[in-house]
């Protein structure tokens, strides 16, 4: 038995979670992992068929799973989501911001429209949604998870727009944590290297590289770490976690 097996963890059963980007990849894995813990779920995504497929798997272990199809680049969709959630659920214990988008390009010639789109999905959407449900999180008190990227810590060439949005997301999480820790709310940022997902496959195609998902971080790996952090006793807060594929050169 390892020392990790002896660490106390809190039960998540009976809690309620809202997960964005839940129709695929990391969001899907986290949603299914939370469902396995007996968590009630509100799943958010743009693809209704994919979202319902995830919900079907989650309903085997979750007491209740509801889906909300919405485009988080649209303020109206975010506000409708928040209103519907507040009218439907009595509590919010876990908020997971997993939705996101990426567009590659050099500072020299990357379209500004791409920067605006990435800002809306990667920064503005989590800001607005967090602001809308924060009173409910305070009653818990709840926990907030921001799925970030290692380029949110250290930018590199040809990814300035995405990196800028992820640096901004880190700032949002850091400020939020400083504001709400006194209310008992925990805030976690998880900085991920290349993770097997449809979005990452698109990145590889844009880079002209062969995509080998088995060599990357797996969404289930990320979900396991996130759920463990959420389950820690309230005497501790994990503020940041960095993960990357073992084969760093890939």
Structure-token pair, residue 248:
């760093």
What CATH number is given for 3-242 in this structure?
A: 3.40.50.720
Other CB atoms within a 10 A radius of the CB of residue 6 amount to 7
Contact present, 163 and 156 (Cβ < 8 Å) = yes
pLDDT single digits (tens) 19-54: 999 999 999 999 999 999 999 999 999 999 999 999
List the chain domain ranges: 3-242
Q: Mapping DSSP to helix (H, G, I), strand (E, B) and coil, where does residue 44 land?
A: strand
Contact present, 56 and 30 (Cβ < 8 Å) = no
Tell me the CB-side half-sphere exposure of residue 155, using CA atoms within 13 A.
17
Structure-token pair, residue 219:
């969404």
Catalytic residues: 162
Cis, bond preceding 13 (omega within 30 deg of 0): no
- Quick one: average pLDDT of 179-199? 92
**217: which DSSP letter?**
B
Residue length, the chain? 250
Determine the Cα–Cα distance for residues 111 and 65; give it in Å rounded to an integer: 39
pLDDT single digits (tens) 65-105: 999 999 999 999 999 999 999 999 999 999 999 999 999 99
Contact present, 155 and 167 (Cβ < 8 Å) = yes
pLDDT at site 5: 54
């Amino acid at each position: 038995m390892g020392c990790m097996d002896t660490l106390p963890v809190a039960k998540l059963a009976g809690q309620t979670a809202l997960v964005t980007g839940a129709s695929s990849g990391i969001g899907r894995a986290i949603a299914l992992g939370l469902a396995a813990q007996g968590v009630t779920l509100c799943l958010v995504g743009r693809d209704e068929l994919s979202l319902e497929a995830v919900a079907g798997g989650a309903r085997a272990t979750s007491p209740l799973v509801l889906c909300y199809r919405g485009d988080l680049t649209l303020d109206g969709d975010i506000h409708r989501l928040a209103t519907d959630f507040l009218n439907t659920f009595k509590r919010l214990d876990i908020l997971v911001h997993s939705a996101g988008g990426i567009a590659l390009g050099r500072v020299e010639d990357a379209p500004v429209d791409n920067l605006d789109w990435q800002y809306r999905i990667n920064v503005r959407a989590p800001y607005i949604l967090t602001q809308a449900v924060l009173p409910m999180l305070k009653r818990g008190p709840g926990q907030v998870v921001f799925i970030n990227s290692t380029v949110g810590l250290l930018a590199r060439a040809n990814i300035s727009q995405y990196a800028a949005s992820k640096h901004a997301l880190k700032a949002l999480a850091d400020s939020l944590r400083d504001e709400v820790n006194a209310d008992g709310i925990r805030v976690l940022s998880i900085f991920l290297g290349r993770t097997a997902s449809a979005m990452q496959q698109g990145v590889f195609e844009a880079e002209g590289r062969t995509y080998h998902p088995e060599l990357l971080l797996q969404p289930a790996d990320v979900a396991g770490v996130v759920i463990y952090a959420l389950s820690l006793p309230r005497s501790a807060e994990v503020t940041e976690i960095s993960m990357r594929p073992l084969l760093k050169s890939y």
